Amino acid sequence: MNKSYDVIIIGAGPGGIYAAYELNKLAPQLKVAVIESGHPLEKRSCPIDGVKIKSCVRCKSCSIMSGFGGAGAFSDGKYNITNDFGGTLYEYIGRKTALELMHYVDGINMQLGGAGTKMYTSIGSAFKKLCIQNKLTLLDAHVRHLGTDINYIVLSNLHKLLKDSIDFYLDEPVLDLGPTAEGYEANTSKNTFTAPYCIVSVGRSGSKWLEKTCRELDIPTHSNRVDLGVRVELPAVVFDHLTNELYESKIVYRTEKFEDYVRTFCMNPRGAVVTENTNGIVTVNGHSYEDEKYKTDNTNFALLVNKHFTQPFNDSNGYGENIARLSNMLGGGVIVQRFGDLIRGRRSTEKRIDENTVVPTLSATPGDLSLVLPKRILDGIIEMINQLDKIAPGTANDDTLLYGVEVKFYNMEVEVSSRLETSHKNLFMIGDGSGITHSLSHASASGVFVAREIVSEVN
């Protein structure tokens, strides 16, 4: 069927949803469609239950990554207000505007169910000094912890608010996108959507599709980095002094051996380790709930090293994918290893994991991460664990668990203007899909930004 709109938005993650929210608020007369490949929010469910289904069964549409709410729906809902990490949106729209938009979205999240959640800050924290004394750097950020449960409520309220004025098409992947005389045409297997304006916000799960689309539309792209490493899980008490004050601490360490940077990422106090499926590759991630009854005894966080290939090989994601594939080949999915086993150069076994004092929150295959991760990356991670042990004694205990591999794939960076517009007029690329953002806050802010750009032309 042919469906004609003023604006079509591809992807219903935070970028797409906040673009729709702002368009609806500032220009309710506009006819807006949001087309999403994944399921409606209430139908999103990952089959892994830890009992019958223990590892990823590679669903056609991964409910962790796709559907209304995007990759953020079952995320920990750590909403970081900062230009220090989470993307480079500020390079396009300016530091002040980027921060203002992140605060603006935070305000909406508070009105739609997030009120009462805590905002933490690392700015002015005494831990900065402790970190510096141990060759570690604590980055500045305000962090709102919504938690997976409240994040879900906010998304569900956003849907309730928008569903009568915005047309959402779920379970409809856009197959191709092209220009028409009046604007753009997006085809799914059921419908053809046309509009003068198009916003593409397809996130990481849409990376392959976006690469193809940019090639077809001759939109220049640039290679991006990949972050590789492990997820660390340890007793929550080891990190309580940091997480109680900061919730999430983004700590960076420059290794002695190779002068590589290793950083902590996505810290989940009293949370759980989960798997993630990106384009069929199973990697590890983590989340935690705000509700006390879902809290575990463990804290988890990632330790990542970034690699950016340019010449003669420039496929950073391909490098990360192949390492993740190797781990999937050896472990059938995610591998878990005790830190003590890694240091002694032996694999972990079912028996050693069963006897471990830290009880894993994810059922993963006991194995040997040194057979998967390149030595340089693994050496950096081991150095960082020993360094963190100085500010959080117990981090380098034998029973600390390491899950691998954790990979943060970054989409290639699409060449866009300071309006986030591609070389094609009125075709905008935002959020994680554009390679410019890597977080809920930056992705949402980019959505509000382009909506305002469009409204400034049509109103």
Ligand X SMILES: Cc1cc2nc3c(=O)[nH]c(=O)nc-3n(C[C@H](O)[C@H](O)[C@H](O)COP(=O)(O)OP(=O)(O)OC[C@H]3O[C@@H](n4cnc5c(N)ncnc54)[C@H](O)[C@@H]3O)c2cc1C
Which parts of this chain interact with ligand X (CB under 6 A)?
10-16, 35-38, 64-67, 70-72, 75-78, 80, 86, 173-174, 201-206, 209, 266, 276, 285, 287, 431-433, 438-441, 443
CB of 278 to ligand X, least distance (A): 8
CB of 46 to ligand X, least distance (A): 10
Q: Which is nearer to ligand X, 196 or 206 (CB)?
A: 206
3-state helix, strand, coil in the chain (%, to 5): 35, 25, 40
User: Cα–Cα distance between 7 and 194 in angstroms, integer?
Assistant: 8
Q: Which is nearer to ligand X, 166 or 342 (CB)?
A: 166
Q: Which is nearer to ligand X, 287 or 338 (CB)?
A: 287
User: Cα–Cα distance between 381 and 400 in angstroms, integer?
Assistant: 13
- 238-267 as b/e: b if 16+ CB within 10 A: bbeebbeebbbbbbbbbbeeeebebbbbbb
Name the maximum alpha-carbon separation found in the chain. Answer: 67
Query: Phi then psi for 327, rounded to 5 degrees?
Result: -65, -40
In sequence order, which residues have a C-beta less than 8 Å from that of residue 251 and are 6 or more positions away? 131, 136, 137, 138, 139, 263, 264, 388
CB of 99 to ligand X, least distance (A): 15
Q: Which is nearer to ligand X, 341 or 431 (CB)?
A: 431
CB of 276 to ligand X, least distance (A): 5
CB of 29 to ligand X, least distance (A): 25
Q: Is 242 left (phi over 0), alpha (psi -120 to 50) or beta?
A: alpha
Q: Which is nearer to ligand X, 250 or 438 (CB)?
A: 438
CB of 375 to ligand X, least distance (A): 28
3-state secondary structure at position 105:
helix
What distance lies between CA 86 and its chain's CA centroid? 9
Q: Which is nearer to ligand X, 78 or 338 (CB)?
A: 78
Q: Which is nearer to ligand X, 71 or 131 (CB)?
A: 71
CB of 355 to ligand X, least distance (A): 29
Q: How far is CA 72 from CA 147, 228, 297, 365, 443, in A?
A: 11, 20, 24, 26, 10
Residues 300 and 209: beta-carbon distance below 8 Å: no
Q: Which is nearer to ligand X, 367 or 431 (CB)?
A: 431
- Nearest-10 crossing angle of helices 95-109, 440-458: 100
Q: How far is CA 400 from CA 60, 308, 392, in A?
A: 34, 29, 13
3-state secondary structure at position 169:
strand
Calculate the dihedral angle through the C-alpha atoms of 374, 284, 239, 260, rounding to the nearest 10 degrees: 30
CB of 422 to ligand X, least distance (A): 16
Q: Which is nearer to ligand X, 378 or 445 (CB)?
A: 445
CB of 171 to ligand X, least distance (A): 10
User: Cα–Cα distance between 232 and 253 in angstroms, integer?
Assistant: 16
